[in-house]
Every structure is written in C-alpha cells, then in structure tokens.
Amino acid sequence: MSITKLKFLRLIGACTLAGLTTGAAAGPKHDLYMCVLLSGQGQVMGGRPPALSGVYRSTDRLTAEHVGFGHIRMFTVIADPRAADGLYLTALNGVVHSPDRGKTWHILTGWDMTEPKGIALDPHAPDHIYAGLPDGIAMSRDRGQTWQRMNAGIRRSYTHTITVDRTQAGRVLAGTELGIFLTEDGARTWRLVQATDDVTYDLRQSPHDPKAFLAVTASDGALWSADAGRTWRRIEGVPTTHTLHNGDFDPADARRLVLCGWEAGVQVSEDGGRTWSDRTAGLPNRQVWSVAVDPDQPARLYAAPYLQPVYVSDDFGRTWRPLFFEKATVYGISFVARP
C-alpha cells in the first residue's frame, strides 16, 4: 500500500473516529492494547528479532505505540484496579506488572510459573489475581507478591483462560485441557461443569447479563451458559471443526457477539447468539487469531488474521480495512479504561 493511500485511509479513519465518538475532543475512554509478534514465522527464542514485537497501545485508534519490552510471546493486558496507571500482562516470562502504563515492568512470578496465558482479577477483592498456567492455576492474594498453586482436583491442568464472575467474590471459571471448571470458594475447590475433548481457549462473561457466559474451544465449538457457568450448551451454527481462539460481547449492544478461529474466520451474531453469520469476507485469510469489539465505538470490530495487519470494521464485520501493522500475529486484543 502506498504511503499516500495509507495517509488517506488514516484520514478517513480519523474522520470516522471523530464522527463516532461522542465528544470527539475527549477521544476513546479506553486504550486499545495488542500483544503482537511482528517477526513472522521464523522467529525463535534467542534470535535477533527483525521487528519490535510486544505490547502495542493505541490511544487514538489510528496509531499504535510500542509499550515496554520487545518480547515475541505476550498474551494479554488487563487493568490494575488498584492503580490508575497500572497494568497486568501475561507473557512468556510470567505475570508482569507495570505501575506506569508500561514505562517499567516487574515480573511477579518466579521460576516455577512459566507462560501464563489467562489472567483475571476479582472485582470484589482486587488484590486477588488468578492466572492460568500450562500446568494449572495460580492465585495471589496480595497483588502478585506471593503465589499459590490452586488447581487441586483438576486433572491434566493445562489452563488457557480464566475469568472471574463479577457478581460474586471468589467465583471463578477456568478453561482447561479437559473442560471448564468452576470454583465458588476462591480456587480452594474446583468442579468440572463442562467436559470438552480439548482445550477451552476463551471464557467471557456477558457485560449485559452476568449469568451469561461464552466459551470457545479447540474441538467443541462455542459453548453458552445462561446460569452463570453451571451448565453449558453448544452454540449451533458455529464451526466445530476448527480451533476457535476467542470471543467477545459488544458492550454497547446485547445482541451482538463475535468469535474467531483458525480457518473459522470471523463469526458474528446479532441476535444474542441464536444465529451466526460468517463475516470473514474482506479479510485476507480465515486464520483469525483474535477479535475484539471496541467498547467506545458501536459496531466497531478488530480482527487479526494470521501474519496480516490488524483489520478494523465499523459495520460489525461487513466490511474491513487494514489498520495496524503489516505482518502480525496478535495473541490478544484488550481494552483498558483510560486513567
């Protein structure tokens, strides 16, 4: 794409943003964070990366700035509710905290906890952090200063995703290799609420209905719970033959959901999950690693096809245009409320 064309697209994007944002001068209420690998398929640990991977932040939805250190494996960024500028990050090196929006970083976990993927804080006890590890679940009750293993009873405990029920302290759902587990006592005990053949890769609680949860899996498609994760049913119309990577609710519209996966492309529902449409047309491939709904701009979707730019859609996936990067693998897209 030529520079002139790129500038034109950015100008269009800026105009769109200005038009969509209430009180345009204030800008979005959230910062967009992306955990990105920019070195392509050949990058190995110990090599000199040809591009700067790591966490990128966009405050204006037009440009993305690199934040912190340049690692090739970072997974998700969430807010630290105890500090206005605080962030938690899961990365290959562990659970990492920044007190200053990414200027400095502190690894919270030790040698015995590697490659956490999922992370969640308990809104009723913001000092409590749960982390999903390849060998189980870790919990900290002191903002990451100390950690305990808390996956007793979970057999084959690979845990990729973890989410805290915002309605009840200590109520947590974990997506593991063999299914979805639930604790109601702060991870002291777990029970399997939904068996799966393979890994559950994402778990989300609806922002509209706290009893509604969405899960996406490696081989069981997408699952839905209407009773706060106690029971689950398979969502019809969603591919089950491919690995689904993640899903999201539109915070502005309870009817809208999105999910994505490898060869599954982007799938959306605009009727609360009853029916689903393929909205991959316009993306360069169907190997979509991550999707997210912008909390500040209704109907705005981001999708990250494998080794491609991050694309944006302002009509919930009907049309797409490239926005960030040229050749990215995006492990996670998240939004953090601006301080």
**Is residue 103 part of the contact set for another protein (CB under 8 A)?**
no
Examine residue 155 and tell whether it contacts another protein (CB under 8 A): yes
Q: Does 40 bind another protein (CB under 8 A)?
A: yes
Tell me the longest C-alpha to C-alpha distance in the chain: 58
Q: What is the C-alpha to C-alpha distance for residues 326 and 71, in angstroms, rounded to an integer? A: 18
Q: Is 10 helix (H, G, I), strand (E, B) or coil?
A: helix
How many other C-beta atoms lie within 10 A of the C-beta of residue 135?
Answer: 15
Q: Are 89 and 76 in contact (CB under 8 A)?
A: yes
143 Cα distance to chain centroid = 21
Helix or strand run (H / E) with residue 16: helix 3-20
Q: Could you say whether residue 245 binds another protein (CB under 8 A)? A: yes
The verdict on 272 binding another protein (CB under 8 A) reads no
Among 199, 212, 215, 266, binds another protein (CB under 8 A): 199
**For another protein, the closer CB: 299 or 303:** 303
Structure-block tokens of residue 27? 């800008």
Among 134, 272, 284, 322, binds another protein (CB under 8 A): 134
Q: Are 269 and 214 in contact (CB under 8 A)?
A: no
Does 66 participate in binding another protein (rule CB under 8 A)?
A: no
Q: Does 156 help bind another protein (rule: CB under 8 A)? A: yes
Q: Which residues contact 6 (CB under 8 A, 6 or more apart)?
A: none
**Comparing C-alpha atoms, which of 38, 33, 148 is closest to residue 87?**
33
Does the protein bind another protein through residue 241 (CB under 8 A)?
no
Please give the full DSSP string across 279-294, using - where no structure is assigned: --BTBS-SBEEEEEE-
DSSP 15-63: HHHHHHSTTGGG--SEEEEEEEE-S-TT--TTS--SS--EEEEESSSS-
With contacts defined by CB under 8 A, how many residues of the chain interact with another protein?
46
Choosing from 1, 12, 47, 227, the residue that interacts with another protein (CB under 8 A) is: 47
* Least distance to another protein, CB of residue 300, Å: 25
> What residues numbered 281-300 form the site for another protein, per CB under 8 A?
287, 289
**Which residue number, 209 or 263, has a Cβ lying nearer to another protein?**
263
CA distance 272 to 58: 29
262 forms beta bridges with 287
177 is a contact residue toward another protein (CB under 8 A): yes
**158 is an interface residue for another protein by CB under 8 A:** yes
259's enclosing H/E stretch is strand 257-261
Q: How far is the CB of 251 from another protein (least distance, A)?
A: 26
In whole angstroms, the minimum distance from the beta carbon of 279 to another protein comes to 20
Which one, of 90, 92, 119, 279, lies nearest residue 202 by Cα?
119
| Pick 43 or 140: Cβ nearer another protein | 43
CB of 339 to another protein, least distance (A): 21
Select from 8-16, 35-43, 270-278, 308-316 the region that touches another protein (CB under 8 A): 35-43
Looking at the Cβ atoms of 100 and 326, the one nearer to another protein is 100
Binding site for another protein (CB under 8 A): 40-49, 69, 71-73, 92-94, 97, 104-107, 110-112, 114-115, 117, 134-135, 155-156, 158, 177, 199, 201, 218, 242-243, 245, 262-263, 287, 289, 306, 329
